[in-house]
Copies of this chain bind each other. A is one copy, B any other.
């Protein structure tokens, strides 16, 4: 259904609502504030299925469908519609033009009711917080108490973060994509160049150009800079390379030589027709001012109040809003025990990827929204992640891990793969699941299945968690592949009350005898790799592990040894192929600090 070409062919009309007054962060009160917005799908009777979509810098309210005015598809038409990620058969989707914009919502090009003239530079300087407070008025106006989700890319992601902090009780989940919790010096610098280019154009005329000609050259230069930052080095190389434009050899003049020059000049000149230069100044300023920590201490302190679940997404080649900024947000969320899934999607499209990579975004957002909806629905039975019984039921070590875990516990699975074990434990033990996995593809599938997975390196990725965040931390069949297993085990026992570790036993009699008599590198029957192709880094035995526990002062609470899918009672180190241990730190706090769900 998601692939039918007709799906976007619903006609939409932008509507406008006017609010009498909006008091801004700068202290000024704006009167008669218009908001242009569109809605798609239907609000359910309980008013619990509303999703607010937040647009980026130069976007507008027309996010989906076909505009009845222009005949153009919405800017996120591949994401919003019947059967799509933001499924208008299930959800009621809203999108509004931001405050300060030039596409129907009040901005510097709007008529100032006090003078009857455009505000121009008399428009007050606005913030992302101001934009969000105006959106809240719209959402209230539509009769919605709590949004199922707020979602957007770039500046839209900043608004999503601000929503979760400013109106914690009104947001069940937030999806900031390719965004940041605070604008960096480099981001401010690029915006400042754009502003200076506009203000250097004599036609800008201190902003008073509405009855004259607009500062087209300055605005075009500003947009050209912007376009470079939206793409990536790689995507520009793929799209343009060093190809010449309509010529076989260099022109040896200053007309267009290269395709990329032609593209930038075209994009710059086109932008002048659809965007207001003063809106450029005001909206970039709002982005530059954005810092979630302003007036709230730190980003972590700001997020302390949030009641939403989060899905944070970034893209590998996005250098304008790089992944480290998303990880800064994720670290702050984890430090507050807030439920956050994170994935860095692979793309060569740079920052534009959030508009382009709709297939990957759709898979992950569809599953995430379903899990949020299940969670807030009254039907608790439906709130489990989609189980994967067939993948798990044949794994006795999974069953053994299940034996060691109390029902309803908070569980972190390190190297969670596609979330099979966590989904199975959710189904059978009603646990609260979290997963860490390094492979992006697997993280995507885990999140799509409804398991809150975090893309990261086990060996470094637990530092953000506070002590004793989880009841159980699981490391299944991964210890032998760890470069620094001791560090990982210590971290497990710090963030969890119990650590459950399953590993292949290289002390099995067959391994040892074969090593003695064959004089060849150790292999096990379960992991029968040749030495030159084995993923195993550590050839530890049960006795090695027990000895380490003793040396580190860890208490072994329970141990289960398996041979041929049967439990082994004695002589474990000789007989077991796989061992499952539950251990705890002897000085561990018994106090439980649980993640917010």
Question: A253–B199 Cα gap in the complex (Å)?
Answer: 13
Residues of B within 8 A of A189 (CB): 224, 227-228, 236, 260-261, 264
Q: Which B-chain residue is minimally distant from A322 (CB atoms)?
A: B233
A185-B240, A188-B260, A193-B228 as given contacts; A531 in contact with B515, CB under 8 Å: no
Find out whether the CB atom of B197 lies under 8 angstroms from the CB atom of A252. no
Partner of A252, one of B125, B260, B268, B281: B125
Find out whether the CB atom of A513 lies under 8 angstroms from the CB atom of B516. yes
Count residues of A near B (Cβ-Cβ below 8 Å). Answer: 86
Question: A86–B470 Cα gap in the complex (Å)?
Answer: 59
Find out whether the CB atom of B239 lies under 8 angstroms from the CB atom of A185. yes
Taking the closest CB of chain B, its distance from the CB of A199, in whole angstroms, is: 7
Task: Decide if A146 is an interface residue (CB 8 Å cutoff).
Answer: no
Q: Which B-chain residue is minimally distant from A541 (CB atoms)?
A: B519
Question: A401–B486 Cα gap in the complex (Å)?
Answer: 36
A185-B258, A237-B186, A538-B534 as given contacts; A217 in contact with B200, CB under 8 Å: yes
Number of identical monomers bound together in the oligomeric complex? 2
Find out whether the CB atom of A520 lies under 8 angstroms from the CB atom of B538. no
Interface-located stretch among A65-73, A283-291, A403-411: A283-291
Partner of A193, one of B125, B224, B544: B224
Find out whether the CB atom of A197 lies under 8 angstroms from the CB atom of B197. yes
Find out whether the CB atom of B264 lies under 8 angstroms from the CB atom of A281. no
Interface 1/0s, chain A 204-247, versus B by CB < 8 A?
A: 00000000000001101100110110010100110111100000
Chain A contact residues: helix, strand, loop or mixed:
helix
Residues of B within 8 A of A259 (CB): 185
Residues of B within 8 A of A218 (CB): 200
Find out whether the CB atom of A182 lies under 8 angstroms from the CB atom of B521. no
Find out whether the CB atom of A237 lies under 8 angstroms from the CB atom of B185. yes
Task: Decide if A398 is an interface residue (CB 8 Å cutoff).
Answer: no
A242-B183, A512-B519 as given contacts; A202 in contact with B202, CB under 8 Å: yes
Partner of A196, one of B224, B241, B513: B224
Partner of A544, one of B185, B199, B237, B521: B521
Q: Which B-chain residue is minimally distant from A534 (CB atoms)?
A: B538
Find out whether the CB atom of B486 lies under 8 angstroms from the CB atom of A254. no
Task: Decide if A548 is an interface residue (CB 8 Å cutoff).
Answer: yes
Task: Decide if A156 is an interface residue (CB 8 Å cutoff).
Answer: no
Task: Decide if A265 is an interface residue (CB 8 Å cutoff).
Answer: yes
List residues of A (473-521) whose CB comes within 8 Å of B's CBs: 484-486, 506-507, 512-513, 515-516, 518-521
Residues of B within 8 A of A236 (CB): 184-186, 189
Residues of B within 8 A of A285 (CB): 254
A253-B125, A319-B319, A537-B537 as given contacts; A258 in contact with B521, CB under 8 Å: no
Residues of B within 8 A of A121 (CB): 254
Taking the closest CB of chain B, its distance from the CB of A547, in whole angstroms, is: 8
Most buried by B among A182, A220, A250: A250
Most buried by B among A254, A485, A512, A574: A254
A239-B185, A242-B183 as given contacts; A220 in contact with B200, CB under 8 Å: yes
Task: Decide if A1 is an interface residue (CB 8 Å cutoff).
Answer: no
Partner of A541, one of B202, B289, B486, B521: B521
Task: Decide if A573 is an interface residue (CB 8 Å cutoff).
Answer: yes
Find out whether the CB atom of A254 lies under 8 angstroms from the CB atom of B281. yes
Q: Which B-chain residue is minimally distant from A241 (CB atoms)?
A: B185
Partner of A531, one of B237, B288, B533, B540: B540
Find out whether the CB atom of A124 lies under 8 angstroms from the CB atom of B252. yes
Find out whether the CB atom of A521 lies under 8 angstroms from the CB atom of B538. yes
Task: Decide if A304 is an interface residue (CB 8 Å cutoff).
Answer: no
CB-CB nearest 6 A-B residue pairs = A200-B217, A185-B236, A26-B252, A125-B252, A185-B240, A507-B519
18 CB < 8 A contacts A-B: A26-B250, A186-B233, A186-B236, A186-B237, A189-B227, A192-B258, A193-B228, A199-B254, A254-B281, A484-B532, A484-B533, A485-B531, A485-B532, A506-B521, A515-B515, A515-B522, A520-B543, A521-B541
